[in-house]
Amino acid sequence: MADRVCVAQIDGPHGIRGEVKVKSFTADPVAVKDYGPLQSEDGSANFEIETLRPAKGHLIARLRGVVDRDAAERLRNVRLFVPRERLPPAEADEFYHADLVGLSAVTPEGTEVGTVVAVHDFGAGDILELRPRAGRTTVMVPFTATYVPSVDLAAGRIVVAPTQEIEAAIKRGDD
């Protein structure tokens, strides 16, 4: 399991006074401010949220030390992390995305399909992106009980229901 978890991303500046648009990845979006100082992905910068308010489709944050639009613009696309120990434990049937990436994906019969390389949310729920073992084009699988009936973090694997895309990925792996 990852020792740090990505909880938000700065999308860019908001206005001229240094505020930034933030996309939160926490279950309660405004809870991102409750986890203490946030850190850049490479660990080179720390950010403290002074104020946070909801806006349409994102949050608006004032970060300590960011005082103008130019400084806010330099933070565009910065992903914000916190140490895992600051986060609450995941509930039953709840998972941190960081824990899913890297898991092996197998069919109910145990045939290896590939590896989870990313978790996406395009607005209609989480989607797992799988890289087939042959390393070709990735396959997208809805992260629902129908398509992913089992997640076993201890074993490092998920079970995926066969779909046309999954079957094609397995077949390509046999080439």
Pairing of strands 104-106, 157-159: parallel
Nearest alpha carbon to residue 147 among 92, 103, 105 = 105
Model pLDDT, residue 175: 44
Distance between CA atoms of residues 26 and 80, nearest Å: 12
**Tokens describing residue 41:** 């992905």
Torsion of CA 88, 94, 99, 105, to 10 degrees: 170
Where exactly are the structural domains of the chain? 4-86, 97-173
pTM: 0.75
Distance between CA atoms of residues 169 and 111, nearest Å: 11
Tens digit of each residue's pLDDT, the chain (175 residues): 568 999 999 999 999 999 999 999 888 899 999 999 999 999 999 999 999 999 998 999 999 999 999 999 999 999 999 999 998 888 888 888 889 999 999 999 998 889 999 998 777 788 999 998 876 788 899 999 999 999 999 999 999 998 777 777 666 654 4
CATH says 4-86 is which class?
mainly beta
CATH annotation of 97-173:
2.30.30.240
